Amino acid sequence: MPLTKDKEKAVNYETLFTITGDRARAYRLLMALPDPEVNLDSAIPALSETVGKDGKEIAEIRKAIYDAFSSERIETKAIFPESPLFPKEEGEFFPVIYASGDLSLLSSRRVTVLGMPKPSMQGKSDALSVLSYFAEHDVTALVSLDDGIPMLSAEVMLRGNGRLIAVLSGPISKCTSEDEARLRGKIYASGLLLSIFPPSQRIERWLVMVRNSFMASISESVFLAEEKDGGPSWSVFDKVLAGGGRAMLSASMLDVPSYTWARRHIESGALTYSGDKDLKRIIPKAADRAQVPDLFS
């Protein structure tokens, strides 16, 4: 079965990214093609000269990526910057996003929820209070599916029929366990799965760092339930705060002597959460909803 136009365009982009290693350059080359949504084979001689790669090697790379897309069984949409659905990015540029599920959530009010792998009872309590408020007020929680607060957030929003976007650290179609596959299936049914990794990408641990950069780039607001000094949540929190976004952390963190980073971030402009009224300071205003196309048109 031939690929849809958005997938053909994605195959072309991933081919160009593979041979250049530069997202922005790959996207410029993609948009310079006579038709980005058509097989780039006819442009290989010119590309070979431009990027200094053997034409046969480029063709082989594209075929391998094409085959991976062709064998994908989960229904996804490739979204590019020219689409009205493409979320605003701040900082690092990610030219293609793979999405599966309810695309209308991309134009919803959303807050990224962060937290440590092994939270305290207080950290869990703060997260549950915030998530309950989000579910009641139609605010989308954007989370990873990492252990701890992120996984708790996903489960709570699913049980409470809340709005949920899960950002993955690998391709949408690749799971490492049956439990993970079942969870993704539940999110697909009522929420949205996002990834910047194509089906041709192998699952590797370092992809988490790239995933975190992507999360930060599309996060206008972020809530941190709990994190130790130097923990992984701070990388996303810091990028959002530095980019002018709204960053809030639980006030309970300030009561823990070893959490010195929390106090330091308050001094740098981060907001504190003590109760529901505080959340209004980070929840984005309602945006004009983009017209959502059929997922497979």
- pLDDT tens, position by position, 119-145: 999 999 999 999 999 999 999 999 999
Task: List Cα–Cα distances, 232 to 46, 48, 126, in angstroms.
Answer: 42, 40, 19
Give the pLDDT of residue 296.
38
Write out 269-287 in H/E/C secondary structure.
CCEEECCHHHHCCCCCCCC
**Average pLDDT, stretch 52-62?**
96
Phi, psi of 230, deg, nearest 5: 80, 5
> What 3-state DSSP class applies to 114?
strand
Q: What percent of the chain has pLDDT over 90?
A: 92
d(CA 151, CA 186): 13
CA distance 75 to 220: 27
Q: Is residue 91 very low, low, confident or very high in pLDDT (cuts 50, 70, 90)?
A: confident
pLDDT at 116 over 60: yes
Q: Count CB atoms within 10 A of the CB of residue 297.
A: 8
79 touches 172 (CB < 8 A) = no
Q: Which two tokens stand for residue 99?
A: 């999405």
β-strand pairing of 77-79 with 97-101: antiparallel
Sign of CA dihedral 268, 109, 124, 232: negative
d(CA 40, CA 50): 14
To which H or E segment does residue 141 belong?
A: strand 140-143
Mean pLDDT score of the chain: 94
Phi-psi region of 244 (alpha: psi -120 to 50; beta: other; left: phi over 0): left
8 A C-beta contact, residue 123 and residue 155: no
- Mean pLDDT (whole number) for 16-36: 97
Phi, psi of 286 (to 5 degrees): -60, 130
Q: Are 115 and 93 in contact (CB under 8 A)?
A: no
Q: What residues form DSSP beta bridges with 142?
A: 112, 165
Quote the CA–CA distance of 157 and 262 in Å, as a whole number. Answer: 26
Q: Give the integer Cα–Cα distance in Å for 17 and 187.
A: 29
Q: Is the pLDDT of residue 279 over 50?
A: yes
Residue 292 above 50 pLDDT? no
Fill in the amino acid letter for 187.
I
Q: Could you read off the pLDDT of 159-204 as tens digits, one per residue?
A: 999 999 999 999 999 988 899 999 999 999 999 999 999 999 999 9
Rounded CA-CA distance 229/206 in Å is 21
Residues contacting 54, CB < 8 A, separation 6+: 48
Q: Is the dihedral of CA 99, 102, 107, 111 positive or negative?
A: negative
- Indicate whether 266 pLDDT > 90: yes
| Mean pLDDT of all residues in 212-220 | 96
Q: How much is the pLDDT for 285?
A: 84
- This prediction's pTM: 0.93
Report residue 7 as tokens.
Answer: 């997938």
